[in-house]
Amino acid sequence: MAEIKTGSVRANDINFHFLEMGEGPLVLCMHGFPDHAYSFRHLLPDLAQAGFRAVAPFMRGYAPTEAPKKGNYQTAELARDALPLIGALGADKAFLVGNDWGATAVYGAAILEPDKVAKLVTIAAAHRGATISESANFHYLKGTWHGFYFQLSAAERTLPHDDFAFIEDWWRDASPEWDIPPYVLESVKETFRKPGVVEAALGYYRYSQNPPLHNPALKDIQERSANGLVTVPTLALHGTRDRPRRLETFQNMDGFFTGGLEKVIIEGTGHFMHQERPQEVNPIIVEFLKH
């Protein structure tokens, strides 16, 4: 089997580095927190074998991708990263796959410019409009407590403390039934050891919960990308053991989709289901994209 290649392109005023396999229609795979592009190390070869060009960028601020010069991590910018990446990679249209913050990016991209999105796949992430409506629910708050803690300056010290023990604990809590291989955790820690990555990762949460930080010029895009309707065919995957994301939120998001929504719940999997059980998850994704 061919090896994963690396490359870089410039999009939305940022130099994005990416992993790549295969030739054919573009599938853009976007990772979340606390993770990196190798999150899709199992999916890329399966997509390539199925006849796709699979590309997984390191999200903005996750080295070796640049951090934005003005430090903007609002969700509108995440969508605006995904869309120009399609063109920068030489395609007019792409299939989009996203986990966690990566799902936020691809949801927004599909809402803003559906003509550039063939199909959408989200992993462990409900439509943002559904999560906003749940934001006062105790169980939702319990699962997303880290987002509130990350507003504090202490978070910059907490994340790297004791060799990033917080990140290791977060992974184990997010996917409690997965016996996570040590190399997976070490690879993620290595990314977070790079200059600026901790601050960037926290920036996603700080911009999410602090609208005054947002670029006023993106006000309309911010609103539409968060609350708009998804009009492209969508596959949404969720695990019954995903502690950061409530299954109930996932089950109650149908009203935000008008182009067809297929929901698949995988028993016993957590937030990183595509890494936990690639042999089960990947065929579902490939089948959806091909037909």
- Amino acid identity of 80? R
How does pLDDT run across 180-198, given as a tens digit for each residue? 999 999 999 999 999 999 9
| Category of 215 on φ-ψ map: left (φ > 0), alpha (ψ -120 to 50) or beta | beta
* pTM, rounded to two decimals: 0.94
- Amino acid identity of 207? Y
- Amino acid identity of 45? P
Return d(Cα 77, Cα 114) in angstroms, integer.
16
Domain map of the chain by residue range? 5-290
**CATH topology assigned to domain 5-290:** Rossmann fold (3.40.50)
- Say what the pLDDT of residue 19 is: 99
Averaged pLDDT score across all residues of the chain:
93
Tokens 């190399």 correspond to: 183
How does pLDDT run across 20-59, given as a tens digit for each residue? 999 999 999 999 999 999 999 999 999 999 999 999 999 9
Return d(Cα 77, Cα 84) in angstroms, integer.
11
